[in-house]
Structure 1
Amino acid sequence: MTRAQLLADDPIWLILLKVVFIFLFALLVAMMCVWGERRLIGRMQNRPGPNRVGPFGLLQPIADALKLPFKEEIIPVTADRKVYMLAPVIALFPTFIAFSVIPFGGQVSIFGEQTVLQLVDLPVGVLVVLACSSIGVYGVLLAGWSSGTPYPLLGALRSAAQVISYEIAMGLSIVGVILQSGSLSLGDIAESQHGLWYAVALFPSFLIYAVSMVGETNRAPFDLPEAESELVAGFHTEYSSMKFVIFYIAEYINMIIVSAVGTTLFLGGYMAPWPISLIDGNYFNSGWWPMLWFVVKIAILLFVFIWLRGTLPRYRYDQFMKLGWKVLVPLNLVWIVVLAVWNVRGGLSGGDALVVFGVTLLVIIAAVFMIPDRRSKDTGRVPLSGGDYPVPPLDLQIPSKPKRTRQARSRAGRRQTVAAAAAKEVEDGSV
């Protein structure tokens, strides 16, 4: 039976069981991701991280989950209360809907019922994921607008501009996968990567998707809507207690979603990785093994998120938008045209894919080492560039002592003369 037929025969109790599993999986992985991020960044910064509550601090997310709902909730007087309370829900629920079309594995038996580790396999599953990520932007935008204060509004506007920009780049990067697999179903795309993963065959698309998913989730170094030094805390500045927790969890669930989609599109989905697939591909790609590979691949991508946050500094906003509109989108369009012509001429073979992979790496290396030196020849310093904004030059020399005018020098001389005369009178005993 096909995947769609197996899912169509699922009884109601099995569908409800899958829904509960998706809900618990998203929450538990988000909690583990919070703990893992604090521990890993702590090690990167030579500090222990959470280590007090439970062994290795494993119970710290549970302690936070119990503490934050009891915090005092403060709502601004100028807030639109209905929209203010609805915004966190709009930001969170689309992330759970996106999980419904993601395949976690192949055919298994659950309590004697043959099924597939997926809630529903839609023929347009890729579009469902993109639509859910687009709806989540409304929650962020409404949160900033309904707060009734300027900084959340500025953060919401920046977030909307950022997410829309990088959704375009992300959507175009998926077009290459669709052209190569010939399907919009995530299950079909995962099964079409039995041989060579699309991360190698379509390396330019994978590279653009990897950059776009970081910008899409507002994560460092692209966490500009939440830049503390500029916008206090971004769109959720006026949120506290449980509503802040919802936004916080929604960010991590979004990270899990884009990692799961990236795994399905480019890393073979639930297929066994290359060294293990050579041992016995049929055994390690059947039963419950595929779910293990899928979770491990998601964990690797989540580690990359954390690694970037602990390593790279924050981008400037104009540089970030320039990267999206002037670099990623044009490169995507050119790559789609090249891939379409390649498919018309007979398709992309394994050897061709390796050639594309090697050429792309050479272009990246050449771009890194051939960036012109922008340092000033006169001062040897990197000039501060503010684009169209006026900025002060860095070659200003501040004198160690301010220059005194002739009048100031004459006044100083008279003060010294008077002081010397007074000191002489004191010595003579006349005073």
Structure 2
Amino acid sequence: MLYHPLLISIIEVIIVTVPVLLTVAFVTVAERKTMASMQRRLGPNVVGYYGLLQAFADALKLLLKEYVSPTQANLVLFFLGPVITLIFSLLGFSVVPYGPGLAIWDFDLGILYMLAVSSLSTYGILLAGWSANSKYAFLGSQHYTYLALRSTAQLISYELILSSAILLVILLSGSLSLTVNTEAQKAIWYVVPLLPIFLIFFIGSIAETNRAPFDLAEAESELVSGFMTEHAAVIFVFFFLAEYASIVLICILTSLLFLGGYLLNFAYLFYFIREVDFYLYTSIISSNYNTFLSNPILEGAIYGLTLGIKTCIMIFIFIWVRASFPRIRYDQLMSFCWTILLPLVIAFIIALPCILYSFEIISSNVFLL
């Protein structure tokens, strides 16, 4: 009974979901502390040591608040929108490889699955904005439904940029599996040969997750809270968790596709050390490292820690961008997508296969896709 498949599946989901939710909670604290440091403020520093428990205090406050729903709202869709957004934000973590074979579902089409799941979360935003039917969400002549449609148009447009950038990574690895893409970077991380694509993917990731300077759908200084203006208490927590869970997921995906994922390449760590024999030193370290990883628990911990450090660096860059750049207009956002980023990505889609085919290094798996 202890090894029942259903029980094991539930335990695996809990082992992944609980750390993800805790990570989301601490990412909110890290964002507030980092932005406060950049803006010469203190930030949260009262609840817990150095303000580390501020996220739990905010969650408790929202859970204890009285929930009020608009009288003219479609209540079923009004509640269903935030739930859909949160569920599909968490489903992407099921195919993330935290190490070789360390995934809930080592799916051969993991990249396609992650793109599909992230696209479906857009419907939650659309339902939340449309079902509110709020008269208080006017901004000039812009109605609340238009704001939800505007957010949806932004997400759909930049999903095209993301999927096109991922296509170039697939051309190098020849597989839609996240594990295969990660293992293919043992020699060199894809950020080196695909640096322009990495930058385009990063810009698309910021827009996809509704982060500043692309947070036009929920610009607090202009639209109160955008599509979630009428949501409060527990329902608002769903949107809050979904937003930051999407940030963590897209940073993990960036690490897996461009930064080697859970791989720890010693050649990068000791490349700038000139006082020692580079190849001898790295070979000694690598042999000791492999001996150290003979314990499977330590091996999994090292792999997970490596992926976590790379993800934290990407999250810090997300926060850094928010604190550094001003918000742009909606027409500038869409024009930047369709007239600058998209032609660049299409040019790379044409050029990269030609280069790979010319040097006869294109993966044989690409033809099977």
TM-score of Structure 1 vs Structure 2, range by shorter chain: 0.7 to 0.9
Structure-2 residue corresponding to 1:341: 354
Structure-1 residue corresponding to 2:40: 46
Distance across 1 between alignment mates of 2:234 and 2:340:
39
Is residue 78–residue 148 contact of structure 1 (8 Å, CA) maintained in 2?
A: yes
Is residue 163–residue 216 contact of structure 1 (8 Å, CA) maintained in 2?
A: yes
Structure-1 residue corresponding to 2:157: 165
Deviation of residue 348 (structure 1)?
6.1
Identity of aligned residues (%): 42
Structure-1 residue corresponding to 2:232: 240
Deviation of residue 30 (structure 1)?
0.4
- 1:384-423 alpha-carbon deviations (Å, 9 max, x no partner): xxxxxxxxxxxxxxxxxxxxxxxxxxxxxxxxxxxxxxxx
Structure-2 residue corresponding to 1:84: 78
Structure 1's 316 and 56: CA in aligned 2 closer, same or farther, altered over 3 A?
same
- 1:8-60 alpha-carbon deviations (Å, 9 max, x no partner): x9955543332112211210110010000111111111111000111100111
Structure 1's 157 and 323: CA in aligned 2 closer, same or farther, altered over 3 A?
same
Structure 1's 346 and 12: CA in aligned 2 closer, same or farther, altered over 3 A?
farther
Distance across 2 between alignment mates of 1:79 and 1:347:
59
Structure-1 residue corresponding to 2:220: 228
Deviates more, 1:71-80 or 1:152-161: 152-161
Number of residue pairs matched by the alignment: 332
Deviates more, 1:206-215 or 1:274-283: 274-283
Is residue 22–residue 96 contact of structure 1 (8 Å, CA) maintained in 2?
A: no
Distance across 1 between alignment mates of 2:90 and 2:324:
30
Structure-2 residue corresponding to 1:259: 251
Distance across 1 between alignment mates of 2:361 and 2:269:
23
Distance across 1 between alignment mates of 2:37 and 2:361:
43
1:303 to 316, 327, 332: 316
Instruction: Please say if 1:131 is aligned against 2:87.
Output: no
Give the structure-2-normalised TM-score.
0.86
Structure-1 residue corresponding to 2:24: 30
Deviates more, 1:79-88 or 1:221-230: 221-230
- List gaps (5 residues or longer) in structure 2: 138-143, 272-281, 294-298, 363-369
Structure-1 residue corresponding to 2:286: 280
Structure-2 residue corresponding to 1:416: none
Deviation of residue 232 (structure 1)?
2.1
Is residue 212–residue 327 contact of structure 2 (8 Å, CA) maintained in 1?
A: yes
Distance across 2 between alignment mates of 1:321 and 1:348:
36
Distance across 1 between alignment mates of 2:69 and 2:8:
41
Structure-2 residue corresponding to 1:94: 88
Q: Which has the larger radius of gyration?
A: 1
Instruction: Please say if 1:203 is aligned against 2:195.
Output: yes
Distance across 1 between alignment mates of 2:221 and 2:102:
44
Instruction: Please say if 1:141 is aligned against 2:123.
Output: no
Deviation of residue 66 (structure 1)?
1.1
- 1:111-157 alpha-carbon deviations (Å, 9 max, x no partner): xxxxx311111111101110011100000000000000253323211
- 1:228-248 alpha-carbon deviations (Å, 9 max, x no partner): 333221000000000011101
Distance across 1 between alignment mates of 2:89 and 2:15:
14
Distance across 2 between alignment mates of 1:250 and 1:180:
31
Deviation of residue 288 (structure 1)?
2.4
Is residue 218–residue 225 contact of structure 2 (8 Å, CA) maintained in 1?
A: yes
Alignment-mate amino acid for residue 308 of structure 1: V
Alignment-mate amino acid for residue 166 of structure 2: I
Q: CA RMSD in A?
A: 1.9
Query: Alignment partner of 2:214: what SS?
Result: coil
- 1:216-263 alpha-carbon deviations (Å, 9 max, x no partner): 000001000012333221000000000011101100000011011111
Instruction: Please say if 1:67 is aligned against 2:68.
Output: no
Structure 1's 209 and 347: CA in aligned 2 closer, same or farther, altered over 3 A?
farther
Structure-1 residue corresponding to 2:307: 294
Structure 1's 287 and 10: CA in aligned 2 closer, same or farther, altered over 3 A?
farther
Give the structure-1-normalised TM-score.
0.74
Is residue 72–residue 134 contact of structure 2 (8 Å, CA) maintained in 1?
A: yes
Is residue 166–residue 215 contact of structure 1 (8 Å, CA) maintained in 2?
A: yes
Distance across 1 between alignment mates of 2:304 and 2:112:
23
Instruction: Please say if 1:314 is aligned against 2:327.
Output: yes
Distance across 2 between alignment mates of 1:23 and 1:315:
35
Instruction: Please say if 1:325 is aligned against 2:338.
Output: yes
Is residue 90–residue 242 contact of structure 2 (8 Å, CA) maintained in 1?
A: no
Structure 1's 50 and 208: CA in aligned 2 closer, same or farther, altered over 3 A?
same
Deviates more, 1:333-342 or 1:278-287: 278-287
Is residue 205–residue 332 contact of structure 1 (8 Å, CA) maintained in 2?
A: yes
Distance across 1 between alignment mates of 2:89 and 2:236:
16
Is residue 35–residue 61 contact of structure 1 (8 Å, CA) maintained in 2?
A: yes
Structure-1 residue corresponding to 2:262: 270
Structure-2 residue corresponding to 1:429: none
Distance across 2 between alignment mates of 1:13 and 1:172:
39
Deviates more, 1:228-237 or 1:126-135: 228-237
